[in-house]
Amino acid sequence: MIEAVLREAGYAAVSAGTVAEARGLLGKGGFAAIVLDWMLPDGSGPDLCADLRSAGDTTPILMLTARAGVDERVVGLNAGADDYLKKPFAAAELVARVRALLRRGPRLLETRVMLGPIEIHAGSRLAIAGGRELPLTAREFDILEVLMRHRGRIVTRSNLLIAVWGEDANSGDSLDVLLTRLRRKLAEGGAPDAIRTHRGVGYSVGTTP
């Protein structure tokens, strides 16, 4: 059903019914996004997601699950998923989430942004800290890019949500988990205090007034 919905929306979609089959398809490369179910006959979606991230695969991942709790959402996001969609869901919402993951838009702004030990290259979607490439997921890169482009200024939480998730801006839990992951990766790259939290307002990188 999901494959049919995505094809109807104009995407070249293929499906896999097991973890083993998914690994075979993903090993061939060339995918722009992954829609990953939580429960599979021979394994779990979060485990496969974590394995992909450990191997350096940064393809955007949308996790699907019938589990309702925030704890389960955090498990999926901590495994490396970029977004989360609870079952049952409308076909239109699935397409909107996939579209949001794939949305990049024209790169009319500067393609290289630097701040201290951190630099990002928008065209190649590459992030570097302390001379080391950071294995960021699509959402993590988007968050860092927004903050870097507004370096020295506070980006409000609501504006950050809109900038990264677009019309699907009701993703506060996801933002909190992704910021934690991003901070950890920046720290591993030698920039432990790069992102500052301004309680009740938002976030910033660099010196703020």
Q: How crowded is residue 54: how many other Cβ atoms within 10 Å of its Cβ?
A: 11
Topology of the domain comprising 2-102 = Rossmann fold (3.40.50)
* Sequence-separated contacts (24+) of 160-165 with Cβ below 8 Å: 160/202, 160/203, 164/139, 165/83, 165/100
Mean pLDDT by 10 residues, the chain (209 residues): 90 91 85 91 92 83 80 78 87 89 52 85 81 88 89 86 70 85 92 91 81
Q: Tell me how far apart the 2 most distant CA atoms of the chain are, in Å.
A: 54
Bridge partners of 112?
A: 121
As a CATH number, domain 112-205 is 1.10.10.10
| pLDDT at site 167 | 53
| Spans of all domains in the chain | 2-102, 112-205
| pLDDT at site 198 | 93
